Structure 1
Amino acid sequence: MNLQFSENLPVNRLASVFANTSATYKFYWFLAILELVEEGNSAISKRKLFSRMISNSWYTVNYFHVSFGKQDLIQEAVRSILKIENLTIDENKNKINAVLENTTNTQTIKILYHFDKNVPHWFISPWFSGNRNSIYLQSQNFDNGCLYSLEKDCININPIWISYLISNSKLLKDFCYWNLSLFLQKRNPNVPDIPNKINKSITRNSLTKQTNEYWKLVFNELGSIECIFTENKLIFDEKKYAIDHFVPYAFVSHDLIWNLIPIDKSFNSSKSDQLPSVNKYFDKFFNLQKTAFEIVQSHNSKNKYLEEYLTIFPDLEDENDFDYLRYKESIQPLITIASNNGFSFMKD
C-alpha cells in the first residue's frame, strides 16, 4: 500500500516509519496525530496524544481480546486504566479521552507518560540519526522536513505537512491500520477478522433479518424452541428471547447463521461474551441448528442464509451432509483459541 506522492514533502520518510516495529506504539501514536490534526490542532499536547493511544486501542484490548505481544505495554496500560478509572469495556471513546486528559490520578498519569520515553522521538527517527536528545534538538527547526518538532510537553506539526495530513487523512489512516493489521495478525495467527477488531466500534449489527427471514420459519414450524442453556420454552416473542452468538461475537466478529441461535432473553444479558462449554452445550446447539436447517430448506431451498453453512460444510446439499463431527471440529478450536486469548467460560 503506497502513500500519496508529494513533490514538496519527504513522503518516503513517513512511509518508512513502520518498517521496523516491535510494538504497536507507532501505529496508535500516528492515528492520534491524524485525529487531532483533523480537529484543527497543530500544537498538540503529549497528554492528548497518549490518551488517544489508549482510547483507540481500548476495544481491541478489552472487548476483542487481541494480543499485542509480550513486549507491548499498551494492552497492559489499557487494562490497568480500566480498573484505576473505574471505566467499562464498552466505554464511549470520547469519555475515555476526557477522563484521561483530565484525571488527577497519579497512577494513570504515570502510565500515560511511560510512552514519552521512546514513542515521540522514535516515530520521527526516519528523518534523523542519533539518540533521544539529538532528535529532539534536530526537530526544533523542522530539519529535513520532519513531521513535527518535539517539546517537553507537546509536539508542533510542521506547517508544510498540515494540508497533506488533512487532505489524505483517510488514506493515511488506512495505511496505518493496514500495517497494524499485519503486525497483529502475526501475533494472533488463529484469531479471525483482525482488521475489523482494530478499526471497529463494538456496536453490533441488527439481527432482525436473521430473525425474520430464518428463525421465524423455525418458530412457526415448531411452535416453540427450547433454550439450550436454560431449557425454558421460547416462543416467537422478542420480549422473551434473543438471537445469540454461540461463539461470542467479540471473538468471531461476524453474524453468520451457523453461529446464531435463539436463547432466553434474561440469560442472554448475563452470558455476555462468555464461552459455552462444548461438552455441555454443543450437542443441543448442533441438534437445534440441524433442525433449523431442515425446516428452512424445506420452506425455501434458496434462502440466502443456508449458504452461510457452506463455510463449514462446503458440499452441503441437504440434511444428510449436516455432519456432527465436522461441525464440532469447526466450533471446538474457536472456543479453545478464544479461551487462550482471555475470554472466560460461563459458570455452571
Structure 2
Amino acid sequence: MNLPHSNALPVSKLAASFGNTSATYKFYWLLAILELVEEGLLTIPKRHLFARMIGNAWYTVNYFHVSFGKQDLIQQAVHSILEQERLTIDIKKGLLLPILENSDLKVTQQALYHFNKNVPHWFLSPWFSKVAGENDVAYRKRIYASSQVFENDCLYALYDDYIIINPKWVGYLKANAKILKDFIYWNLTLFLQTRNPNVPDIANKLIRPPFRGSLTNQRKNYWDIVFKELGTVDCIFTNTALTIDHYALDHFIPHAFVSHDLIWNLVPIDISFNSTKSDKLPNMETHFDGFYALQKTAFEIIHHYSPKNKLLEEYLIIYPELNSQNCFDYTRFKEGIQPLVTIAHNNGFVYLP
C-alpha cells in the first residue's frame, strides 16, 4: 500500500519512517499526530501525543490480548497504567485520554515520557541521515535543531515538551488522513501478525468496535428452536436448568480472542454466571464434554427441523461435510477447539477457576 503522491513534499521520507520497524511506537506516534491535526492542533504537547499512543493501543492490549513483542514498551505501559490508575479494560477513549494527560501519578508520567527518549526524533530520521562517527546524543540534538527550521521539509519541529507541524504538511495530512490511517493500520496489522501468527483476525483487533454484534439471529433462529424441542437445557458451567425465556448466549472461547460469533462457538449459559464470566477461558477437562454434547444435540435438532438453516454452514470450518448428523465427530470437534484455547491462554487469557 502506497501513500498519496505529492509534487511539493518528500512523501517518500514519511513512508521510510516505517522502515526497519522493531516496535509499534512509530505506528501509534503518527496515528496520534493525525488525530490531533484533524482536531485542529498544530502545536501539540508531547504528553497529548504519548497519551494518544496509549489510548489507541489500550483495547488491543487489554481486551484482545494481542502481543506487541517482549521489547515493546507500549504494551508494558498499558498494563502498568491500567493497574496504577485502577482503570477498566473497556474504558472509553474519551474518558481515558484526560486521565493520561492530567494524571499526577509519577508511574503514569514515567510510562508516558519514556517514549520521549527515542520516538519523536527517530521518526524524523529519514529526513536527517546520521553522519559517520556521530553518536546518538549528538544525532538527537542535531535532529532537534534542524527540525526547528523545518530543514529538508521535515514533518514537524521538535521541542522539549511539544512539536509544531510543518505548515507545508498540514494540507496533505488533513486531505489524506483516512488513507494515511489505512496505511498505518495495514502495516501495523502485518507487523503484529508476525508476532501473533496463530491469533485470528488481527486487523479487527486494532480498533475498538463501536458496538458488539447482536446475537439475536443465533438466538431466535437456532438456540430458541433447540429450547422449544428440549424444554430446558442445563448450563455447562453451573448445571442450572435454563429455559427459553431465561438464558444468556455466550462464546465458549472468548469473543475477545476469536473475534467472531460463529454458531459452533456459542452456548446458552446461566445469566448470572455470564455476568461474571467475562473473557475467561473454559477448562477443557471440565467443560468441553458438556459443551460438545449440547452442540451435537443442537446440531441434530436444527439439522432435522431446518436442514437449510444458514447457521449450520458455520460448522464447515470444523466439519467439511455436513450432509448427515453422523459427521459431528467428538475428536474432530475437540481438535478444532483445543488449540484455540491453548493459544488464547498463551496470549494472556486466564482460565475459569
Shorter chain as normaliser: what TM range?
over 0.9
Structure-2 separation of matches of 1:260 and 1:226? 14
- Is 2:276 the counterpart of 1:294? no
5 Å-filtered alignment, 1:264-343, equals 264-343=270-349
Counterpart of 2:166 in structure 1 is 158
Counterpart of 2:125 in structure 1 is 125
**Contact 2:148-2:158 within 8 A present in 1 as well:** yes
The aligned amino acid for 2:321 is D
Structure-1 separation of matches of 2:63 and 2:49? 22
Give how far 1:202 is off.
Answer: 7.5
Counterpart of 1:149 in structure 2 is 157
Counterpart of 1:75 in structure 2 is 75
State the secondary structure of the residue aligned to 1:69.
Answer: coil
Moved more, 279-288 or 202-211: 202-211
Structure-2 separation of matches of 1:183 and 1:176? 10
Question: Which of 142, 154, 172 does residue 134 from structure 1 map onto?
Answer: 142
- Is 2:253 the counterpart of 1:242? no
- Residues 276-310 of structure 1 show CA distances to partners (whole Å, capped at 9, x for unaligned) of 11111111111111111111121221111111000
5 Å-filtered alignment, 1:1-348, equals 1-130=1-130, 131-201=139-209, 203-237=211-245, 240-347=246-353
Structure-1 separation of matches of 2:83 and 2:70? 20
**Contact 2:262-2:314 within 8 A present in 1 as well:** yes
**Contact 2:282-2:352 within 8 A present in 1 as well:** yes
Structure-1 separation of matches of 2:97 and 2:305? 51
Give how far 1:210 is off.
Answer: 0.9
Unaligned runs of 5+ in 2: 131-138
Structure-2 separation of matches of 1:95 and 1:236? 38
Structure-1 separation of matches of 2:324 and 2:210? 35
Structure-2 separation of matches of 1:42 and 1:214? 53
- Residues 6-26 of structure 1 show CA distances to partners (whole Å, capped at 9, x for unaligned) of 111111111111111111100
Structure 1 runs (4+) greater than 4 angstroms displaced: none
The aligned amino acid for 1:326 is R
The aligned amino acid for 1:236 is I
State the secondary structure of the residue aligned to 1:44.
Answer: strand
**Contact 2:27-2:188 within 8 A present in 1 as well:** yes
Q: Give the alignment's TM-score, normalised by structure 2.
A: 0.96
State the secondary structure of the residue aligned to 1:255.
Answer: coil
The aligned amino acid for 1:292 is A
Q: Give the alignment's TM-score, normalised by structure 1.
A: 0.97
State the secondary structure of the residue aligned to 2:316.
Answer: helix
- Flag the 1:202–1:85 CA change in 2: closer, same or farther, 3 A: farther
Give how far 1:137 is off.
Answer: 1.1
Q: CA RMSD in A?
A: 1.0
The aligned amino acid for 1:339 is H
State the secondary structure of the residue aligned to 1:298.
Answer: helix
Give how far 1:84 is off.
Answer: 1.1
Structure-2 separation of matches of 1:94 and 1:134? 36
State the secondary structure of the residue aligned to 1:262.
Answer: strand
Structure-1 separation of matches of 2:85 and 2:192? 27
Counterpart of 2:136 in structure 1 is none
- Residues 100-130 of structure 1 show CA distances to partners (whole Å, capped at 9, x for unaligned) of 1111111111111000000001111111123
Structure-1 separation of matches of 2:129 and 2:146? 9
State the secondary structure of the residue aligned to 2:114.
Answer: helix
The aligned amino acid for 2:339 is P
Give how far 1:199 is off.
Answer: 2.2
**Contact 2:59-2:207 within 8 A present in 1 as well:** no
State the secondary structure of the residue aligned to 2:295.
Answer: helix
Counterpart of 2:134 in structure 1 is none
